[in-house]
Amino acid sequence: MLRDLSQVSSLSHAAGLPLLQAPIWQAAVPPGSPATYAEILLHYGYTDSDSLSNMVNGWRNLFTLTKPRLVIFDHAPTALLASRGLTMARALIGTGFCSPPRVSPFPVMRSWQSGSVQQLQAGEARILAVVNAALKRHAVAPLNRLADLLEADEDFLCTYRELDHYPGRDDTSHYWGAGYSYGEGHEILWSGGAEKKVFAYLDKNFGDLETVLQALSGLAAQTQIYAPGIAAQCVTRYQSPRLTFLTSPINFDTLQGHCDLTICQAGHGTAAAQLLMGIPMLLLPMHLEQYMTAVNIEKIGAGICINPEQPDRDYVAALNRLLNQSSGESSFSDNAKAFAQRYAHQSQQERVLKMADRCEELIAPT
């Protein structure tokens, strides 16, 4: 069940699978930047019990149609809510951003913003009343607190403790390791020479894209850039013998042992892949989830995060610091390699198999 069926062609393993359109919230999203997971819910239908009940009904109809023994929820809180009271095993999956600790109130994601615990609790109480009114219409027991919405038989936290968006998670949480496109894409080729080698994976909509390209064009390094959909005039303006634009996705594995620095928006899978290869990063987050990941990587000394709201962002200085560290400064490269070494015993294939084994346990006859 997918939010956007038009994107199925990008899922190489989806061929032949039966597909269904997921119920999605299509009303206008209110303005503002959510500070907690509860406020994210407010943006997607949790302000009105009538609307929420209709969404729940849509999901329950799909579950009645498909009769699943196990449902795996990739940030689908309304589907999770709709599954309450039905006979199925339930598992969450994701980086952990959408699976905050089960506390009341939920942790504040924008730590630099003020807000009292009483205000957060009052906001959650209002959402809880909407949720319980919707559940009552379907003869389902009410929640005692909003965090109970996330109850499941398993929570596949596909991350590492160092990258967890919520550093206060208790010690009983199990981290399954990050997932990313493994072994797919084209090999990236570097020319010989002693020059530093830089790979940049950039979003075409990044506000400072041309500023970063200008900084890279003046860098004494060999740089290869993958920026899907980038304007042709940008490529023409900045392409040079030292700066190459790639036209298709690359196989991250081919960076290992060759790349000195990766520049990216701090998407969790991309960032984790670089750390697992011991490659430091310049991180250019575009939204809150990316920013929280980038800050965590900066905390372990494996990269530099450029705050998009920070004035006078100096990309040249950051690049020079990452590639030409002064003596006595802790090495970004060494810290990235230390992270890779901590998890060198884990392979992605093994993690996936263990997750599949756990899914089979959840649906095994009792």
Average pLDDT of the chain, as a whole number: 91
Please report, for the chain, the start and end positions of each structural domain, with discontinuous segments joined by +.
Answer: 5-177+352-363, 196-342
Calculate what percentage of the chain has a pLDDT beyond 70.
95
pLDDT at 324 over 60: yes
Question: Given this chain, do its domains 5-177+352-363 and 196-342 carry the same CATH topology?
Answer: yes
pLDDT confidence bin for 326, thresholds 50/70/90 = low
pLDDT over 60 (residue 327): no
Short-list 32, 22, 176, CA closest to 96: 176
| Region 332-351 average pLDDT | 92
**Could you report the per-residue pLDDT of 35-61, keeping only the tens digit for each?**
899 999 998 889 999 999 999 999 999
Rounded-to-integer distance, Cα 202 and Cα 267, Å: 10
Q: Which pTM was predicted?
A: 0.91
Beta strand residue intervals within the chain, DSSP E: 70-73, 89-94, 154-157, 196-201, 221-226, 243-246, 261-264, 281-283, 303-305
Q: Record the tokens describing residue 190, joined without a space.
A: 């570097």
Alpha-carbon torsion (322, 326, 327, 329), positive or negative: negative
| The predicted structure's pLDDT at residue 293 | 96
Please tell me the predicted confidence (pLDDT) of residue 81.
98
Residue 301 tokens read as 């000394």
Nearest alpha-carbon partner for 291 in 275, 311, 271, 274? 271
pLDDT value at residue 161: 94
- pLDDT, tens digit, for every residue of 284-298? 999 999 999 999 999
Listing DSSP states for 31-70 in one string gives SS--SSHHHHHHTTTTT-HHHHHHHHHHHHHHHHHH--SE
The predicted pLDDT at position 263 comes to: 98
CATH 1.50.10.10 for domain 196-342, yes or no, is no
The yes/no answer on whether domain 5-177+352-363 falls in CATH 3.40.120 is no
Token output for 258: 């060759």
